Structure 1
């Protein structure tokens, strides 16, 4: 799989509070790591939450999937890589999570977000003033 130039890389050290009693990261925490990378990716294109609010928009998650392939454990360094794959009809972001400590891909994931106006009315397509900021 080729990763585009606009992808961001974010390294996170797995904290103790993300782990179960066996020191393995609880599966739900992966979505927290995805959200941190998602925010960094949007921020790199001036589309972070304050930017969206200033434009009169909100984004809501409509679909997500995470395929786990190797566990993360306490103290591991995970690199979360995120990039845009599509902007229409909704914004889709793909992710690869790599366990840098153990040199393994630990998960692959995606999220899909739809755009609403400030009153929660859903747009059928990602608005042009958002799409114009994307490298797609």
Structure 2
């Protein structure tokens, strides 16, 4: 089990527009649920999308992994937990989607993001100091 440096959770009720004709969540929507939880995680250190833009860095997802365990259905209430597990050279965030009905884990996932300099478009292979500072401040 990886160390969780920072964790945030969001509650979501599965909307109708996220399901297919048999009322099961279309697989591509899981990335959206991860993004909602990741934004909550980054807001905890005051470094969500607006602050990233202001700092001159972007953080595109370069890898997404999803393990579907149980299908999610229309109207189901879930908790999506995002945990920062690495930030030195890249951001790695792990995810768990948990059914609020029975507490079971329905989905697991992970994203990897690399920093880019927004002016030059250059990929950075070390995390910018602004992010390191935000993480260290959150631990105090």
- TM-score between both structures, scaled by the size of structure 2: 0.90
Task: Give secondary structure in 1 for the equivalent of 2:53.
Answer: helix
Partner of 2:107: 107
Task: Give secondary structure in 1 for the equivalent of 2:114.
Answer: strand
Q: Is the 8 A contact 2:4 2:85 kept in 1?
A: no
Q: Is the 8 A contact 2:6 2:85 kept in 1?
A: no
Partner of 1:52: 52
Moved over 2 A (4+): 1-6
Partner of 1:126: 127
Q: Structure 2 regions of 5+ residues with no counterpart? A: none
- TM-score between both structures, scaled by the size of structure 1: 0.92
Please report the RMSD computed on the Cα atoms of aligned residues, expressed in angstroms: 1.7
Q: Structure 1 regions of 5+ residues with no counterpart? A: none
Task: Give secondary structure in 1 for the equivalent of 2:124.
Answer: coil
**Do the aligned partners of residues 13 and 108 (structure 1) sit closer, same or farther apart at CA in structure 2, a change above 3 Å counting?**
same
Deviation of the 1:55 alpha carbon:
1.1
Partner of 2:61: 61
Task: Give secondary structure in 2 for the equivalent of 1:46.
Answer: coil
Task: Give secondary structure in 2 for the equivalent of 1:88.
Answer: coil
Deviation of the 1:102 alpha carbon:
4.1
Partner of 1:21: 21
Deviates further, 122-131 or 11-20? 122-131
How many residues get paired? 136
Q: Is the 8 A contact 2:2 2:85 kept in 1?
A: no
